[in-house]
């Protein structure tokens, strides 16, 4: 049976996953890339190093986000959402966003860009050589759709 997820089911899928895909666009090129994330009820919160996806989203902040849960080819759920990219600049807001990510992924391996400052052996200034300052961002969701198949 094919069907449509209601709002609660779609949001539940967003809450229950840690990896999704961002689709972004620039200069005639579409780029789809996986990210780790947390859903806060209205936005996707994520982080990244400077790179292609950040360049694309800065250029065109309207993006698409996709997440799925697949048991097999006849038992799956997927959510596609659209929203607007916003880079977090305020240190407190960045810290709180990274803390949400860290709390959600605490038992998983965490990249250098996701580590909150208080979790490091010594607190260092982000601009010291060798340190990577994460680009922390939100995708404010404006539309969410979902589909499923269940046999």
- Give the CATH number of domain 2-116+129-150: 2.30.110.10
* Per-domain residue ranges of the chain: 2-116+129-150
Residue 115, pLDDT above cutoff 60:
no
- H or E, element range at 123: none
Summarised one tens digit per residue, pLDDT across range 36-51 is 999 999 999 999 999 9
Average pLDDT over residues 7-28: 96
Q: E strands within 18-93? A: 19-26, 29-36, 38-39, 43-48, 62-72, 75-87
pTM of the model: 0.82
Instruction: Assess contact for 44 and 86: CB atoms under 8 A.
Output: no
* pLDDT in the model for residue 47: 94
How many Cβ atoms are within 10 Å of 134's Cβ, its own excluded? 21
Three-state DSSP class for 92?
helix
């Amino acid at each position: 049976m094919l069907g449509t997820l209601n709002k609660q089911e779609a949001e539940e899928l967003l809450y229950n996953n840690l990896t999704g895909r961002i689709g972004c666009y620039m200069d005639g090129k579409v780029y789809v890339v996986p990210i780790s994330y947390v859903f806060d009820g209205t936005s996707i919160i994520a982080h990244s190093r400077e790179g292609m996806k950040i360049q694309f989203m800065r250029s065109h902040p309207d993006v698409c986000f996709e997440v799925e849960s697949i048991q097999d080819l006849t038992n799956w759920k997927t959510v596609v959402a659209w929203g607007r990219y916003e880079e977090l600049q305020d240190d407190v807001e960045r810290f709180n966003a990274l803390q949400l990510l860290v709390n959600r992924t605490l038992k998983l391996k965490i990249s250098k860009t996701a580590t909150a400052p208080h979790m490091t052996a010594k607190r260092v200034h982000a601009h010291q050589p060798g340190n990577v300052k994460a680009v922390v961002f939100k995708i404010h969701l404006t539309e969410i759709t979902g589909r499923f198949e269940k046999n």
